[in-house]
Amino acid sequence: MTAISSTPTGEAVPRPRGTRGRGARARTLRRMNWGGWLYLVPALTLYGLFVLRPLISTIQYSFYDWNGISLATPVGMANYVKVLTDPVLLSSVGHSFQLMVFFTVIPVVGGLLVAALLQEIRIKGLGTVARTTLFLPQIIPGAAAAIAWVWMFSSSGAVNQLLSAIGLESITRAWLGDFDWALPAVGVIGLWLNLGFCTILLMSGIGKIDASIYEAARMDGAGFWSTFKAVTLPGLRAEIGVCVTMTMIAALASFDVVYMSTRGGPGNSTMVPGVLVYQLGFTESRVGLASALAMVLTLLVFVVILPLQRLFREH
Partner 1 sequence: MSLTTTRRSILALSLVGSLAGLAACAAPGSSTQPTTTAPTAVSTNVGTEPVTITLYDGAGLKTVDDALIAAFNEKYPNITVETRFDPDNVQAQNAPRVLASDNPPELARIVALGDIVTDNLLTPLTPWAESYGWDIPGGQMAMYTVDEQGVRGSGTQYTVASGFVTTGVYYNKELAAQLGLSGLPTTVDAFEAALEKAKVAGITPIITGNSVGQANTAIQMMINNHMGAKAVNDWVFNVPGATIDTPEATAGVQIVADWINAGYFNADANGTDGAGASARFAQGEALFYLSGNWDASGLAKSMGDNVGFMAPPALKEGTLLAMSDPVTNFGIPAKAKNKDAAAAFLDFLMSAEARAVLVENGFAPSGAGEVPQTEAGSLNEAVQESFAALVAADGQVQFVQNATSGSTAAWNEQSQLLVGGKTTPADFVTAIQASYTEQIGK
Residue 110: CB partners within 8 Å, gap ≥ 6?
A: 195, 198, 199
Measured from the CB atom, the residue of 156 and 226 that comes closer to partner 1 is: 156
**For partner 1, the closer CB: 115 or 185:** 185
- Minimum Å gap between C-beta 179 and partner 1 is 5
Positions that interact with partner 1 (CB under 8 A): 1, 3-4, 52-53, 56-57, 59-61, 64-74, 150, 153-155, 173-179, 262-268, 279, 282-287
CA 186 to chain centre: 16
> Of 280, 272, 227, which is closest to residue 251 (Cα–Cα)?
272
CB of 286 to partner 1, least distance (A): 6
- For the bound state, the minimum distance from the C-beta of residue 225 to partner 1, rounded and expressed in Å, comes to 38
Q: Give min distance, CB of 149 to partner 1, in A.
A: 12
CB contact at 8 A, 312 and 240:
yes
Alpha-carbon torsion (77, 79, 80, 81), positive or negative: positive
Q: How far is the CB of 39 from partner 1 (least distance, A)?
A: 19
Strand partners, 64: 74
The DSSP line for 127-169 is HHHHHHHHHHHHHS-HHHHHHHHHHHHSTTSHHHHHHHHTT-G
CB within 8 A of 259, min separation 6: which ones?
Answer: 143, 146, 274, 275, 278
Nearer to partner 1, 247 or 262 (CB): 262
31 Cβ neighbours under 8 A, 6+ residues apart: none
Task: Please say which residue, 85 or 283, places its beta carbon nearer to partner 1.
Answer: 283
* Minimal distance, residue 245 CB to partner 1, in Å: 19
* For partner 1, the closer CB: 194 or 286: 286
Closest to partner 1 by CB, 44 or 136: 44
> Which CB atom, from 34 or from 225, has the smaller least distance to partner 1?
34
Asked if the peptide bond before residue 266 counts as cis, ω within 30 degrees of 0, the response is yes
CB burial of residue 211 (10 Å; 0-12, 13-18, 19+):
exposed
Tell me how far, at minimum, the Cβ of 110 lies from partner 1, in Å: 27
CB of 284 to partner 1, least distance (A): 4
For residues 30-61, b (16+ Cβ closer than 10 Å) or e, as one string? eeeeeeeeeeeeeeeeeeeeeeeeeeeebeeb
Q: Give me the least distance between CB of 239 and partner 1, in Å please.
A: 24
Helix (H) or strand (E) holding 259: helix 256-261
Q: What is d(CA 313, CA 308) in angstroms, rounded to the nearest whole number?
A: 8
The contacts of residue 45 (CB under 8 Å, 6+ apart) are: none
Nearer to partner 1, 173 or 237 (CB): 173
Three-state DSSP state, 264: coil
Cβ proximity to partner 1, 138 vs 172, nearer residue:
172
